[in-house]
Structure 1
Amino acid sequence: MQSVNNKSLIEELDKLLESLRIPSEYAACLTGGSFDEARMLQNIEACEWLNSALRGLEVPNLDPSYANMRAVREKRAELEKLKTTFVRRASEFLRNYFASLVDFMISDKSYFSQRGQLKRPDHADLRYKCRTYARLLQHLKSLDKNCLGPLRKAYCGSLNLLLRREAREFANELRASTKASRNPTVWLEGSTGSSQSVNNADTSTVSEAYAKMLTIFIPLLVDESSFFAHFMCFEVPALVPPGGLANGNKSASNDDDANDDDLGIMDIDDNDNKSGKKAMELEALNESLHDLLDGIQEDFYAVVDWAYKIDPLRCISMHGITERYISGQKADAAGFVRILLDDLESRISAQFGRFVEEACHQIERNERNIRQMGVLSYIPRFATLATRMEQYIQGQSRDLVDQAYTKFVTIMFVTLENIAKADPKYADILLLENYAAFQNSLYDLANVVSTLAKFYHQASEAYEQACTRHISMIIYYVSSPILQFERLFQFAKRIEDMMYTITPEEIPFQLGLSKMDLPKVVKSSLSGVDKSISVMYKKLQKNLTSEELLPSLWDKCKKEFLDKYESFAQLVAKIYPTETIPSVAEMRALLASM
């Protein structure tokens, strides 16, 4: 029995001693080996052994009765020291390695955009060199996950310098190489006579330049975010689907590599391969992405501001382009790219808002002018502006334009009404001419743009009201001795008022409404009626500057006059059945002949 137990004990001790032995080749590699690419296989093997050895000395891999043995504790301490030494050496090497890669690229001027040459950033070689150490990072995370924080910061700090330099040089050359005539921001001010021809200059190259900036850099930034997340061992799902952006824009920076997310490695620790994302991990990733990409937005802003100065209306095109990219960003990791696009959209909206406010001030300046006649200058200018704005709409920037239309037209109508109030005598002429001009100039656009259709109908109603008031003034209140229609219709009005209180039979016995009064009123009002109507026409024509409105206004005037006369004739037939006056048919024939 003693012999059997001694033999068993010796076997058990041999196994324990074997687990406590540190192979000399691994010890040398972990404490002083090189990190050159040729030596990486040995480093990985040493890491794998160290990981396995550390796990082997932990319960339940080790019998609990051995866990507190002095030899086991000493060996565990020795392995921990090896781990700490290796992690420190590897971290220092990687920090220097990232910095040296970027320094090498930055020192080569031919790598960046130069005068006369736009250079598309190419990070294929950079990522290839980084992938050499992807497996090492996985092992470092397994050995000591706390070492990843400083490594991530070092990588972000180095690459941020490169990305910002690339964006700055690209944006500078993009602006320098874009040929476009600058359009003035004065659109709706009456004092500017020659600006309309200038405003027809083609500035499409400006929004094309902005689109090019996004086309080159947004996929690059998304790819960099995705590569960084996986290279630096964040436990998050893929930031973009295989093959590039969700909106179909293939990455400009990885033509040689269909999917940069795939580092060609598998998770070392199966326990780390968790489905879904952790909120804390995602938050840490987005903080790192901020460090990686922060500052690059300034070069995007510079392109937006430059485009605005050349042609403010190009904000509409840029807004639509930006919205398309935003709708293409489905993943909520790559958070900085989404924030960048949202900020760009806000900046473009703010710039366009500046233009709208300035144009509104230009409209309001018309109020300060002396008495104005005819169609105000900003009415046809707005039609030109709206036509061009419609040409610039891309994607969903319809809302941006519709909000501008609402501001413009509201200010236009308020200013028009204020100008009209300043000269009551000619107020309705000014109103009807301008509302008519608004409708005529925007007829085609109002058929296809619902916001303008709403204002078209508003102008139509205001036009009709102004016409009614002006025609009533022409018919009733013209102070010519020839024109006596006012007396005729005032006679009819008194009869109508009497009918509320007494019977029709009693009216001919009222003062001023007797059977003898009727012929006098008819004679004084309708003798030489053809001359009176001619005077009415001339009065209508006199202050009208828009001659094309005269025929329709004259038709309205004749209809209004005939309606009033028909009402008068009906009252006469009812109250004075035995009296005769010129018939409605005669009056209609007379008006038709004139």
Structure 2
Amino acid sequence: MAKSSADDAELRRACEAAIEGSKHKVSLSIRTVKTHGTWGKSAKLGRQMAKPRVLALCTKAKGQRTKAFLRVLKYSNGGVLEPAKLYKLKHLSKVEVAANDPSGCTFTLGFDNLRNQTVAPPQWTMRNIDDRNRLLLCILNICKDVLGRLPKVVGVDVVEMALWAKENKPAVSTQSNQQDGASVESAVTETELKVNVEKELVSQAEEEDMEALLGTYIMGVGEAEAFSERLKRELQALEAANVHAILESEPLIDEVLQGLESATNCLEDMDEWLGMFNVKLRHMREDIESIESRNNKLEMQSINNKTLIEELDKLLEQLSIPSGYSACLTGDSFDEALMMQNIEACEWLTTAMRGLEVPNIDPMYAKMRGVKEKRGELQIIKSTFVGKASEYMRCYFASFVDFMLNDKNYFSQRGQLKRPDHADLRFKCRTYARLLKHLKILDKNCLGPLRKAYCASLNLLLRKEAREFANELRSCTKTSKTQTVWFEAFTGSGQNVNSADTSTVSDAYAKILTIFIPLLVDESTFLAHFLCFEDPSVIDSKKAGSNNGDNDDDLGMLDIDEDDSKSSKNSVDFAALNESLQDLLDGMQVCI
């Protein structure tokens, strides 16, 4: 066997010096060459790119455990070994001998913890097969002894390696004492010792027993035939004794046979019982599967029932009418103190009716008889409530305006010629403004009679205020005796009139126009907002954008800019508005 670098003590010391301080014990150090290959391709070896390296197998004791490492050392510029890489043998998963190397000296070591698995691991090329087998056997032995497992070996026959290891065991040299002035050396390999021991047929104790037995016989060397005859006789005697013992044990054999027969019968009975039990178990399994299937269906049905109950509870809650709202919607009280409750009841009624219509409600629920009945009930409640509220407000505003018309103090205590004060009327209107919006949402046709009643009553008030104002202005203005002169001045006639009288009459008419024309514009604007000529959705969006809730119901003289007029241009019913304005302003030209 050629001398290997694995036996180089100087190389081992150089490796130990290179890894000094790491507490690693070098088990094997051997020279090799590092090459690069390609995964899955039979490429030729790149000998020109080979790099000399030294592989050192090391172990490190840590407590009761031992760790194994493979160190790669390289030569520095000065030819001194220095550590290059460190691999843990516990991550070694594969040892593969390269098939594209005819010499069989190239192999790769696959580690499962490498970060970049797409790059092929380096290939190691040994000087000869013996060096390759030494390194691989050492790795396998360390993995088996230290880690308790072996990596996968590909491309080499493990039996051949075992035979190689058996043939290449290191020799055990012994030197005997010098006899007759000459020294005798004998080299006996461990393999030969092991083979000689394995060839012994009897143990040491058996050998001693045989020697004691032979010692009982006093025979010479020439008595071999007599010894053979004696052994034959003793063997025959032993066989006869054995036959006799067998014959004597016949009753026992019969008893044993009977026991075996009864056991056989028991086994047959047990086999029948087991067959019956198997049938019963099969039926029981089928019953269990059927029960499990029914249980699954019941569980699914329970879940569906629970979900259905929850949906029905929501639907019933949606269909039920709260007692407080029911009292407001079916009652006849529309006083100012109860107006907030009535408005809340209107909001609930609007929401409830919308909630029962598709797509706010599931089409499947919309076809249910209970939903249809509840929808009809809400329609009846809506009609009743709208009719009562409209009639009440029509009578209320008519009576309030009649009260103002018949109130002498309202016309006698105004003092100077000023614009009529409708603050009390506006305050009353402010109380019922939100209710009118909800009434329009519930039934937009209900506002027609209410608008006519309001315009008729307010028209009477405005006409009376205009006449009273004109009478007071007439009493305060001094004119000529001829009453037709100042009328003709405004018709453009060419007659000569008194300039002073004309100026006085012009001032009087200018004062009437500057007071009543803005008043009529203000009342017209108030009418449009108060009697809901705008789209309720537009009004609701304006209310939602306001930060102060009190301003939402402020129906005084509203500021309407161009943007507001453009946004609500399409939402105003101009025909109905013009009709109401005509009812409101009818006859005012005669009074003025």
Normalised TM-score (structure 1)? 0.41
Per chain length, whose mean CA-contact separation is higher, i.e. which structure has more relative contact order (CA < 8 Å, sep 6+)? 1
Greater share of strand: 2
Bigger CA radius of gyration = 2
